[in-house]
Amino acid sequence: MRDHSTGRRGFEGVLIAVAATFLTVSATSVLAQSPTRSPADLAIDAAVPVPSPVDLPPPSVGDFKPETPAAKPDAPAKPDIAAAPAPAEPAKDIAATPAPAAPEPSKDTAATAPAAEPKTEAPAATATAPAAVPAAPATDQATTTKPAEPQKPASTVAAADQPVADQLRDLLAKSASRYFDRKAERSAVEKFYETRDYAPVWTKAGALTAQAKGVIARLKDAAADGLDPEDYPVPSFSAATSPEALAEAELRLTESMMDYARQAQSGRMHWSQVSADIQYPEHPIDPAQVLAKVTTAADASAVLDSYNPPHKLYRELKKKLAELRGEGDKPVIKIADGETLRYQPARKKRAEVKMDDPRVPQLRARLGVSENPESTTYDATVAAAVRKFQDHADLKATGVLDERTVKALNTPKRDRTIDTIIVNMERWRWLPRDLGAPSLGDAYVILNIPDYTLKVMQHGAEVWTTRVVTGKPGKHATPLLTETMKYITVNPTWNVPPSIIYNEYLPALQQDPTVLDRMGLKLERNRDGSIHISQPPGEANALGRIRFNFPNKFLVYQHDTPDKNLFAREERAFSHGCMRVQNPDVYASTLLNIAMPEKDYTPAKVRAMYGRSEVDLKFPTPIPVNITYQTAFVDDAGKLQLRKDVYGRDATMLALLKNDKGKNLEAVVAHAQPNYSRPTKLPDGVSVAGDYTGSSGASSSPFSFLENLFGGPQPRQQQPAQRNQRRVYAR
């Protein structure tokens, strides 16, 4: 009989051998995925009791849980067996105990879960085997890991400039208005520095950039353009030894650069500061464009200089200013009073006449005569220098040193001339950068009030010029403006401006209710109860035969006049504000040939339209009209011309520049305009024709007040002639 217990034990032995082999292979596989194990580690692994193959099912995939990657990114991933209770008493002196080939399973541990790999202390670091960083428990990793925060883009600022960039960020965040009080400029500067991560633009590693050097050179030379360098202070970068100081200097230079660009383009003062009868179109700078252009330019000085007026007459004044300041560097030499000195060249029967005087050496030095500087003889060379000075000083060029010439030599007229040039350069900043119409060859009209001249320009050259009569000083001064001439009216009706009605004609009606009838003027009431006075077309019309219309808020225009004798005078400020043109038929044909060259207008063709009915000749493209005030200009011969400050504009501007440096001269001053739309009571006996119908012939006229004043686009109804008409002179 076979011993079944023995067979069972043999079968169990086979199962135990198979299970042991399986576990050994599994452990070997796990260990193969781990870093190299030390003998101590292997001994510990061998000491862990092996579960009984009878009660423990074969291991499955669920029994293995991959471990979260270690802290070091280059460490290989190692799976981790699910945690189980560690043995209560680990073997002592394990390293000295040899590992048994096949350990006997323990019944006490057979019912437990597979044992986890016990934690051990990492071996000491060596040159060949660095210590491994123990990973966090797998259960914590699986439940508490947070998503990684997004990485900030790397800064584009150089390391050497980063401290300054940090300071710039703080300054602009906390006190940008301390440097830039204009909102548009402040916003542009903040955005500019933000887009470059607040990297400084004027310095690089503490040294000035090429753009900074160009800007500084232009600011220091501001006087060449009639500006004041003190208005654009340049910070000391050499004294800035800290990031805070460099950031402060950076913003101060940006501030001065922006101030220069703005004032170079639009002026140090707004035109409304000077007078209520000035209106030019605004042309402010674009702060973002200034920053972009200047900071990226190869020649920052030239770019900044481009904000000054581009006009030829401005550039010529700039040259004269430089010439006069060159003379100003010489020491002041006073010529004493004395007898009149003259030189007479030799004649056929008369010898050369020279005079001696102790003042002649000073005179030679004053006039720049280098020949015989110590000579006391008033000879031909000295006389020629005196003659040249007299011509420049608007004196009769005789070459005789008389009392008037000595006074002119000793008067600091040169300083007054410099001031005059500067204020004229300032007024050029108010004018549009493009004076003309590009589609018409840059054609435009320019009228200079103190010179009493009008010019038609095209392609940068003078086409035609004539004399004009302008407004009287005071409340009748001709305004300064830029508008566009839209049409010409032949045989115009004179719609009397409200200022003349209320300031002159109504007071005259109080004295004589029939005065308007005797003057050939028609009085009507507007729908609002105010008064309208007009004069029909005709030879005696105050506007003459032609009116040139460029509607504007000052209600002025250019026109013909029946009174031609005033054009012969040197000073011609006699009108009520409008501008009378000496040769209106030639003026009209010149403008019409520019606007409509295919029509071939001539002065004779224009005169053929003279009659009793209005004729409007519209321009397909309006022609700009620029009314200016040039008391200093350079003529075609290159000579500086000075004119009388007839309206006192120079004096007002100089007073503002010299005495109001602390005020904001760029602020706009609001000027109230008179309101003439009010019911008016007329004296008894005044003849009223009826309700004013305007150009449409109906009381509900669709035309605006300006159109009623300047004339509507359709020919007016013919007015009956009045025999007793008297000449009335318009504005």
Q: What is the DSSP string of 545-570?
A: TEEEE---TT---EE--S--GGGGSS
Which of 120-129, 211-220, 309-318, 666-675 is the least confident region?
120-129
Do residues 560 and 714 make contact, with C-beta atoms less than 8 angstroms apart?
Answer: no
Higher-confidence residue of 504 and 700: namely 504
Q: Report pLDDT for 120.
A: 43
Query: From residue 92, how far is each of 68, 107, 358, 582 by CA, in Å?
Result: 31, 21, 128, 127
Q: Which residues pair with 278 in a beta bridge?
A: 480
Residue 543 CA to residue 147 CA, distance in Å, equals: 86
Question: How many residues appear in the chain?
Answer: 731
Tokens of 147: 């998503």
| 453's tokens | 């001249």
What would the pLDDT profile of 478-488 be if each residue is shown by its tens digit? 999 999 999 99
Tens digits of residue pLDDT in 519-559: 889 999 888 888 889 999 988 899 999 999 999 999 999 99
Is there a contact between 532 and 703 (Cβ–Cβ < 8 Å)?
no
pLDDT at 671: 85
**Model confidence over 650-672: pLDDT tens digits?**
999 999 988 766 568 888 998 87
Averaged pLDDT for residues 93-117: 43
- Percent of the chain with pLDDT strictly greater than 70: 71
pLDDT at 666: 87
Residue 719: which pLDDT band, with cuts at 50, 70 and 90? very low
With H, G, I as helix, E, B as strand and everything else as coil, classify residue 586.
helix
More confident residue, 720 or 467: 467
* Cα(683)–Cα(676) distance, integer angstroms: 18
Q: Are 434 and 457 in contact (CB under 8 A)?
A: no
Q: In this predicted model, what pLDDT tens digit does every residue of 605-621 receive, in sequence order? A: 999 999 999 999 999 99
Q: Is 680 left (phi over 0), alpha (psi -120 to 50) or beta?
A: beta
The predicted structure's pLDDT at residue 660: 62
pLDDT of residue 128: 41
Residue 401 has pLDDT above 90, yes or no: yes
pLDDT band at 13 (very low <50, low <70, confident <90, very high): low
Query: pLDDT of 139-182, one tens digit each?
Result: 444 445 556 666 656 678 999 999 999 999 999 999 999 999 99
- Summarize pLDDT for 376-390 with one digit per residue, the tens: 999 999 999 999 999
Q: What is the pLDDT of residue 539?
A: 83
34 pLDDT above the threshold of 60: no
User: Could you give the 3-state DSSP secondary structure of residue 513?
Assistant: coil
Q: Name which of 29-43, 86-100, 533-547 the model is least confident about.
A: 86-100
Q: pTM for the full model? A: 0.66
**Looking at the predicted structure, is the pLDDT value of residue 291 above 60?**
yes
Query: What mean pLDDT comes out for the span 249-273?
Result: 97
Q: Evaluate if residue 26 carries a pLDDT over 60.
A: no
Residue 675: its pLDDT value, please?
A: 72
Q: What is the pLDDT of residue 429?
A: 98
- Predicted confidence band at 60 (pLDDT cuts at 50, 70, 90)? low
Where is pLDDT greater, at 151 or 645? 645
Q: What is the Cα–Cα distance from 708 to 498, expressed in whole angstroms?
A: 12
The more confidently predicted of residues 84 and 516 is 516
| Span 297-351, pLDDT tens digits | 999 999 999 999 999 999 999 999 998 887 544 566 889 999 999 999 988 888 8
Name the average pLDDT for the chain.
Answer: 80
Q: Are 336 and 401 in contact (CB under 8 A)?
A: no
- CA gap 548, 537 in Å, rounded: 15
CB 33 within 8 A of CB 78: yes
Say yes or no to pLDDT of 642 above 60.
yes
For 407-445, how does the pLDDT look when each residue is reduced to its tens digit (9 = 90+)? 888 875 557 899 999 999 999 999 999 999 999 999 999
Residue type, 588: A
pLDDT of amino acid 544 = 93
